[in-house]
């Protein structure tokens, strides 16, 4: 009995000591614990948490998540692909004029279906052989009178020599071209500059204030001592910030527009590489057109009809008589209206996929637009054909959207969230296109978005495996427009990344990059003939 009482008293003493220690610790660290445990008074709206917050640090000190590690891994691979190439004088950079192109195994007669190879030895402006690669080249063959074109395959041996291979897809007079879009030193400078800052584009947010409105600065990252509104997707950790207007809630943000800022992370010497006279210079000026003949070759075997999930090649096809012809399969003529019967087409992304819904509406006269009571070029579009039960919708992706005209953000939504609330099924077609608006920002912004979309598609295919998901790659664009922000080099890196990220999922990629090179459009919004051929690939995938 005495032992039990003694044990009981000892236990009470221990409990008292433990309670005293906890009380002391809480008192000493009350501020810290309150910061950790206190939940902000937030308005959950459109899957964002909108709240006032102090200025967001450029690199928040948080433990790396799985997504952060994935981003780091892809970025490291890209860094290896684009090593630093410092230079002290422009004369030591690649010169199109001094470089030498040699036709390998020249012949008197070239036959359709043959491969023609060109060895390219690059030199600097003093005529010295370069000892490393990394130049951004674009190879193309074309016959303008036949409305024919195709990209060439460039192999970089990383020693100053390149093999450029052309497949002679058609008969007739064919011109060969290799453009030096950017020298390797310019590529290296652009890559370094891209990943240095977020402020080449500034955004202006418009907040409603009764019958008037107030404008403030907004950005993906805002280095400001002012109170900020944080628009955060807490799951995917994608955020956008605006300076909070005095006495106006963060939820009152209604519109956004942007403009370029006079900011450059390039030196004066580096910028000289991107002057119009130095971008996109022909390296095969001395080569005349060749004549390609049929050569009585056996008729090529019939190719299978293009289907969803088929692997692509390099080049992926060619244009002939203004029509796209894939290498690995055959595109059948598809009656659009009948193909789309009973289907819901979700087009998500930038204005290059908005071109698709505009083409659908102009091609199917019974497809009627539904007024969703929005305004502006970036308003959500929805069109229906009640007789055929066709539904087509386009909506923009979320920040960043680099647009000089004001657009509504009242219903702006990340693509991953849209996919998450899509039921899917065999009649559901999702086409995603993004990239152009991400070019002015560090690559991690694009990678994070692509990975969040990848994960959302993965979740969708688990619950609805018969849903068709298609990625439309970026189009090439104007070659000389604002190279530091919008160069096709940035687009090419994103093109490589998107193919790498989605390779493990049952999705198909429409290779708009290769298609627009073949057409030689050099326009972010290619003509309707190009859009028509991109859409014809979609129709073959789903019908």
Whether the per-residue pLDDT at 518 is higher than 60: the answer is yes
Please give the pLDDT value at position 451: 97
Question: Per the structure block, which two tokens stand in for 212?
Answer: 């008037």
Specify burial of residue 40 (Cβ count, 10 A radius: 0-12, 13-18, 19+).
exposed
pLDDT for the residue 240: 96
What is the reported pLDDT for 64?
A: 62
Q: Cα-flanking dihedrals φ and ψ of residue 343, to 5°?
A: -110, 150
Task: List residues bridging with 323 in a β-sheet.
Answer: 320
pLDDT in the model for residue 200: 95
Per-residue confidence (pLDDT) for residue 41, from 0 to 100: 27
Beta bridge partners of 178: 139
For 284-311, the pLDDT digits (tens) are 998 989 999 999 777 777 889 999 988 8
As a whole number, mean pLDDT of residues 411-418 equals: 95
Say yes or no to pLDDT of 53 above 50: yes
> For the residues of 53-69, what is the DSSP string, one character each?
ESPPPSS------HHHH
* Average pLDDT score over residue span 532-541: 97
Asked if residue 512 lies in contact with residue 465, where contact means CB atoms within 8 angstroms, the answer is no
Alpha helices in 260-350 (DSSP H): 268-272, 336-339
| Gap between the Cα atoms of 392 and 429, Å rounded | 9
Judged by DSSP in three states, 369 sits in strand
Query: Where does the pLDDT of residue 373 fall: very low under 50, low under 70, confident under 90, or very high at 90 and above?
Result: confident
d(CA 96, CA 189): 19
Burial class (CB in 10 A: 0-12, 13-18, 19+), 276: exposed
Confidence band, pLDDT 50/70/90 cuts, at residue 54? low
Distance CA 420, CA 148 (A): 41
- CA dist 170 and 148 (Å) reads 8
Q: With a cut of 80, say whether residue 31 has pLDDT above it.
A: no
What is the number of helices (H) and of strands (E) in the chain?
A: 13, 27
pLDDT, greater one: 342 or 58: 342
Residue 496: beta bridge partners?
none
Determine how β-strand 344-349 pairs with β-strand 390-396.
Answer: parallel
Q: DSSP state, 236?
A: T
Asked if residue 22 has pLDDT above 50, the reply is no
Q: Would you state the torsion angle of the CA atoms of residues 331, 318, 324, 352, taken in this order, to the nearest 10 degrees?
A: 120
Residue 380: which of 424, 420, 418 has the closest Cα? 418
pLDDT of 34 above 80: no
Can you list the positions of beta strands (E) in 128-244?
136-143, 148-151, 153-156, 161-167, 172-182, 201-209, 212-219, 228-233, 238-243
Answer whether the bond into residue 151 is a cis peptide, omega within 30°. Answer: no
> How many alpha carbons fall within 13 Å on the CB side of residue 504?
6
What ranges in 399-473 are assigned the alpha helix state H? Answer: 415-420, 443-463
Q: Are 10 and 17 in contact (CB under 8 A)?
A: no
Q: What is the mean pLDDT of residues 489-505?
A: 97
Contact 194, 443 (CB under 8 A): yes
Q: What percent of the chain has pLDDT over 70?
A: 88
CA nearest to 82, candidates 183, 230, 173? 183
pTM of structure: 0.87
pLDDT for 308-332, tens place per residue?
988 888 999 999 999 999 999 999 9
Decide if pLDDT at 136 tops 50: yes
Whether residue 39 has pLDDT greater than 80: no
- Say whether pLDDT at 23 is over 70: no
Q: Strand 428-433 relative to strand 468-472: parallel, antiparallel, unpaired? A: parallel
Provide the pLDDT confidence category of residue 45 given band limits of 50, 70 and 90.
very low
Confidence (pLDDT) at 50: 64
> For residue 93, is the peptide bond before it cis, meaning its omega torsion is within 30 degrees of 0?
no
pLDDT tens-place string over residues 203-236: 999 999 989 999 999 999 998 899 999 999 988 9
Would you state the structure tokens that stand for residue 434, as one six-digit string?
A: 């993004």
Cβ within 8 Å of residue 350, ≥6 positions away: 396, 397, 433, 434, 435, 436, 437
**More confident call, 53 vs 365:** 365
Nearest-angstrom CA–CA distance, 333 and 330: 10
Q: Return the pLDDT at 135.
A: 98
- DSSP letters, 323-342, are EEEESSSBPPP--HHHHTTT
**Pairing between β-strand 161-167 and β-strand 228-233 as defined by DSSP bridges:** unpaired
Name the token pair of 18.
């433990």
Of 267, 259, 303, the C-alpha closest to 190 is: 267
Question: Model confidence over 148-204: pLDDT tens digits?
Answer: 999 999 999 999 999 999 999 999 999 999 999 999 999 999 999 999 999 999 999
- What pLDDT, in 10s, does the model give residues 248-279? 999 999 999 999 999 999 999 999 999 999 99
Position of tokens 């008729």?
A: 299
Determine the average pLDDT of the residues in 427-438. Answer: 98
For 102, 156, 401, the CA distances from 123, given in Å and listed in that order, are 14, 14, 40
């Amino acid at each position: 009995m005495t032992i039990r009482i003694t044990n009981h008293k000892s236990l009470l003493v221990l409990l008292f000591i433990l309670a005293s220690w906890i009380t002391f610790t809480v008192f000493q660290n009350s501020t810290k614990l309150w910061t950790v445990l206190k939940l902000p008074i937030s308005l959950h709206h459109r899957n964002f948490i909108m709240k006032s917050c102090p200025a967001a640090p450029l690199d928040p000190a948080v433990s790396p998540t799985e997504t952060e590690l994935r981003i780091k891994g892809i970025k490291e691979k890209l860094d290896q692909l684009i090593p630093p190439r410092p230079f002290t004088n422009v004369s030591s950079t690649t010169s199109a004029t001094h470089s030498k192109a040699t036709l390998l195994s020249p012949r008197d007669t070239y036959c359709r279906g043959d491969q023609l190879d060109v060895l390219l030895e690059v030199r600097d402006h003093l005529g010295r052989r370069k000892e490393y690669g990394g130049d951004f080249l674009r190879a193309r063959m074309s016959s303008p009178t036949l409305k024919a074109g195709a990209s060439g395959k460039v192999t970089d041996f990383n020693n100053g020599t390149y093999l450029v291979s052309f497949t002679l897809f058609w008969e007739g007079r064919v011109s060969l071209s290799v453009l030096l879009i950017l020298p390797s030193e310019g590529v290296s400078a652009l890559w370094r500059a891209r990943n240095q800052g977020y402020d080449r584009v500034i955004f202006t947010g418009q907040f409603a204030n009764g019958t008037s409105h107030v404008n403030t600065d907004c950005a993906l990252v805002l280095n400001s001592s002012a109170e900020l509104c944080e628009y955060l997707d807490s799951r995917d950790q994608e955020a956008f910030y605006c300076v909070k207007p005095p006495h106006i809630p963060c939820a009152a943000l209604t519109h956004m527009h942007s403009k370029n800022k006079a900011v450059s992370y390039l030196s004066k010497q580096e910028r000289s590489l991107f002057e119009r006279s130095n971008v996109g210079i022909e390296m095969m000026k001395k080569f005349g057109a060749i004549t390609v003949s049929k050569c009585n070759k056996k008729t090529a075997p019939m190719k299978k009809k293009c289907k969803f999930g088929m692997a692509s090649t390099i080049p992926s096809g060619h244009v002939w008589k203004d029509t796209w012809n894939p290498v690995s399969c055959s595109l059948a003529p598809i009656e659009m209206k009948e193909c789309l019967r009973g289907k819901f087409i979700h087009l998500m992304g930038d204005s290059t996929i908005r071109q698709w819904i505009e083409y659908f509406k102009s091609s199917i006269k019974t497809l009627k637009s539904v007024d969703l009571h929005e305004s502006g070029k970036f308003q959500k579009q929805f069109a229906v054909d009640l007789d055929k039960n066709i539904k087509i919708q386009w909506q923009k992706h979320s920040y960043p959207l680099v647009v000089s005209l004001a657009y509504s953000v009242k219903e702006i939504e990340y693509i991953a969230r849209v996919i998450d609330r899509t039921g899917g099924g065999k009649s559901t077609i999702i086409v995603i296109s993004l990239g152009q608006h991400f070019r002015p920002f560090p690559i991690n912004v694009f990678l994070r978005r692509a990975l969040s979309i990848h994960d959302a598609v993965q979740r969708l295919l688990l619950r609805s495996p018969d849903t068709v998901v298609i990625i439309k790659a970026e189009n090439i664009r104007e070659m000389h427009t604002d190279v530091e922000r919008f160069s096709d080099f940035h687009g090419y890196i994103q093109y490589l990344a998107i193919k790498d990220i989605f390779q493990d999922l049952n999705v198909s990629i429409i290779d708009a990059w290769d298609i627009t090179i073949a057409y030689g459009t050099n326009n972010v919004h290619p003509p309707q003939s190009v859009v028509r051929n991109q859409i014809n690939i979609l129709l073959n995938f789903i019908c």
